[in-house]
Structure 1
Amino acid sequence: MNFNLFKSKTKKHTFAFYNIENLFDIYKDDLTRDKDFNPTSEKRWTIKRYNNKLRKIGYAISNIGRKETNTHPAIIGLAEVENEAVLNDLITSKHLKEYPYKFVHYDSKDERGIDVAFIYDSKKFTVTSSDVFTFSFKDHDGSADHTRDILLVTGLFLGEPIHFLINHWPSRRTGNNETEHKRIAASNNLQSIIATLKDNIPNARIVVMGDFNDNPSNKSIELLMANQGLFNPMETLLSIDRGTTSHNSEWDLFDQILFTPNFFESKSKTLRYVKADIYDAEFLKQAEGRYKGTPYRTYVGKTYKGGYSDHFPVYMVLKKK
């Protein structure tokens, strides 16, 4: 056995993001639009299907970055979780219960009842503060259109201060052009949060992750990068046959991780960026048929497929000297 190789791997750490496609419990919530996700709905969201989803998502999470680090990811940002209960069920599920995971979650005003969340290895990361930033838009009739909060988690990763911002920006469901202004507004809100962090903490180390519902080349992301000086390692990963989610036979890379350039600094006892990638292992893909190679989903419309998610996770690997 090459012990030097093993030793080098243990110094590397994975930060990941995963949109896990509607992790709802099976109980009706009168405050949200979750009527599809209960045992008597058309989708027949039963306890058996729920537990299968937990097991599969847990297995996927446990393996993100394992090839590079030989261990489970230290940080995972999530999108599309219903509440604290499903997060408790997830971190105590079959493939995650052995790890010292804890989480940060706030209920948002999103009408579908889906939130972002932050899972962390409590032996590597200590939360010192957390906050959420809520914003909404006006629909054509003047009513409020609530979206997911931006979650800020600040803490010490192996003693080093880092700020994480978890996002899930407004979707393209009614059309890209028709909804672009919402994602630009979300980008502007995020930029304000980052600017405030930088004003208060010189040389702050900031990691931004999320499902942005925009590609790296779209205006909302380009503005974020240009105005806040962030580096986006995902820019080069999107191609005609690779991305994180697929629609109408075309790939998109809506799931991204960006960070401040100080993660390139080579200093003793500080985290340094190594690489970023899409975690698109074969078991996460549709194995056959028209959609072969695309994410193996839990549902397609109302039809149960029993897969993982309609998104692949993304991750970055860092090392500490």
Structure 2
Amino acid sequence: MTSIKIISTAVFLVLTTTLCAQESKKFKIHTVAFYNLENLFDTINDPTKFDEASPIMEMSNGRSEVYKKKVRNMARVIADIGADKAQNSPAIVGVAEIENRAVLADVINDSLLVEKDYGIVHFDSPDNRGIDVGLIYQKALFQPINTSSHTVYIYDKITRKRVYTRDQLLVSGNLDGDLMHIIVNHWPSRSGGEQRSRNNRIGAAQVTKKIIDSLHILDPYAKIIIMGDFNDNPNNASIKNVLKAKANQEDVGLQGIYNPYERFHKQGLGSNAYRDAWSLFDQIMITHPFLDKDYSSFRFYKAFIFNKNYLTTKRGKWKGYPFRSFADGGFTGGFSDHFPVYIYLIKEVE
């Protein structure tokens, strides 16, 4: 069995691979992340959306200052994710709860990120709240080839009315010359209760599975990253029964899916909290080729929840919870009600 231990960090990781003997190898490392930005809305009323119900639009004054602080907070977190090992902000970040492309543009043009020269992939979704998913990427590291938006058609099992939710985003491109596909998700919420809303997330999972299957038809060895706020835990039916994600790498077949976050969930760790209970709705899953031990192309290294101290509420009844941006009708100065999640991808270099 091969174990990899970090010795030092510079432009590249220098790792020790333990086989029969020890030898030092040099690896390139990139961070891939997902972050729910918690109601990142602008201050302009869009008559085509229900954005007037967003927290910032419900504020009677100080909206511009709050928006600027919110954008700066999002940029601060994104700049920091994975930087301790990769010595860089993430190469790729999937995001949820953004109102439009413009708010994401403001984030990547913040002084903390502008030098990274991020690009944006975004499509408007039919979501009732007017929120979308999106993806940003460092142009020098990742080059999109194809992008598409996939609508989720689901219907309330009682009213039989359509539930308008976020489209799923598929971005295919080259990370330092290595072709991979990223699916960004924000599945339907648990509004009305987990049991009543369960079929909505199963329907969303079926759309994700169809995207994955279509990619595997073209290439059984496709490297696929499935990320998002799934509003389900790793052990729920949408992920275990529909996506058939596995908790152990050795159980993942050729076209199977590995979910490193199931282990975190079993340990009681989470990315968001509600009523004194932690959930791990934010996850990143990968297909089998990322698990190969031939590091001539990018492989999975490790997964993390980004829960640094400054992202955590310090006092009060929500002590220990993610330090959210909006509460009790106002801006808290915080970040998001979700912690980001991220993985490292590594590739051996000469």
The one-character-per-residue Cα deviations of 1:42-64 (angstroms, maximum 9, x if unpaired) are 46560100000010110001110
Answer whether contact 1:32 1:112 (CA < 8 A) is retained: yes
Aligned equivalents of 1:283, 1:160: Cα separation in 2: 34
Could you say which residue in structure 2 is the equivalent of 1:319? Answer: 346
2:235 to 205, 214, 217: 217
Structure 1 window deviating more from structure 2 (91-100 vs 12-21): it is 91-100
Aligned equivalents of 1:8, 1:42: Cα separation in 2: 46
Could you say which residue in structure 1 is the equivalent of 2:152? Answer: 135
Answer whether contact 1:36 1:42 (CA < 8 A) is retained: no
Aligned equivalents of 2:326, 2:139: Cα separation in 1: 33
1:132/1:43 Cα in 2 relative to 1: closer, same or farther (>3 Å)?
A: farther
1:32/1:301 Cα in 2 relative to 1: closer, same or farther (>3 Å)?
A: farther
Q: Secondary structure at the match of 2:144?
A: strand
Answer whether contact 1:56 1:308 (CA < 8 A) is retained: yes
> What residue identity is the alignment partner of 2:132?
D
Aligned equivalents of 2:192, 2:339: Cα separation in 1: 23
TM-score by length of 1: 0.94
1:58/1:117 Cα in 2 relative to 1: closer, same or farther (>3 Å)?
A: same
Could you say which residue in structure 2 is the equivalent of 1:65? Answer: 82
Aligned equivalents of 1:188, 1:166: Cα separation in 2: 14
Aligned equivalents of 2:71, 2:77: Cα separation in 1: 10
Aligned equivalents of 1:204, 1:241: Cα separation in 2: 32
**Which has the higher Rg, Structure 1 or Structure 2?**
2
Q: Secondary structure at the match of 2:148?
A: strand
1:43/1:313 Cα in 2 relative to 1: closer, same or farther (>3 Å)?
A: farther
Deviation, structure 1 residue 94: 2.4
Deviation, structure 1 residue 38: 8.0
Matched, 1:170 2:174: no
Aligned equivalents of 1:56, 1:35: Cα separation in 2: 22
Aligned counterparts, 1:133-212, within 5 A:
133-139=150-156, 140-212=158-230
TM-score by length of 2: 0.87
> What residue identity is the alignment partner of 1:275?
K
Answer whether contact 2:49 2:130 (CA < 8 A) is retained: yes
Answer whether contact 1:240 1:250 (CA < 8 A) is retained: no
Q: Secondary structure at the match of 2:225?
A: strand
2:280 to 250, 253, 264: 253
Aligned counterparts, 1:31-180, within 5 A:
31-37=48-54, 41-42=58-59, 44=61, 46-139=63-156, 140-180=158-198
Q: Secondary structure at the match of 2:46?
A: coil
Structure 1 window deviating more from structure 2 (70-79 vs 268-277): it is 268-277
Determine what percentage of the aligned residue pairs are the same residue: 38
Could you say which residue in structure 2 is the equivalent of 1:13? Answer: 30
Structure 1 or 2: more strand by fraction: 2
> What residue identity is the alignment partner of 1:65?
G
Q: Secondary structure at the match of 1:87?
A: helix
Answer whether contact 1:187 1:223 (CA < 8 A) is retained: no
- What RMSD over aligned residues (CA atoms) do the two structures have, in Å? 2.0
1:5/1:138 Cα in 2 relative to 1: closer, same or farther (>3 Å)?
A: closer
1:68/1:43 Cα in 2 relative to 1: closer, same or farther (>3 Å)?
A: farther
Q: Secondary structure at the match of 2:343?
A: strand
Aligned equivalents of 2:199, 2:55: Cα separation in 1: 34
Equivalences, count: 320
> What residue identity is the alignment partner of 2:101?
E
Answer whether contact 1:263 1:272 (CA < 8 A) is retained: yes
Answer whether contact 1:26 1:38 (CA < 8 A) is retained: no
Aligned equivalents of 2:154, 2:81: Cα separation in 1: 35
Answer whether contact 1:37 1:44 (CA < 8 A) is retained: no
Unaligned runs of 5+ in 2: 1-6, 14-26, 246-254
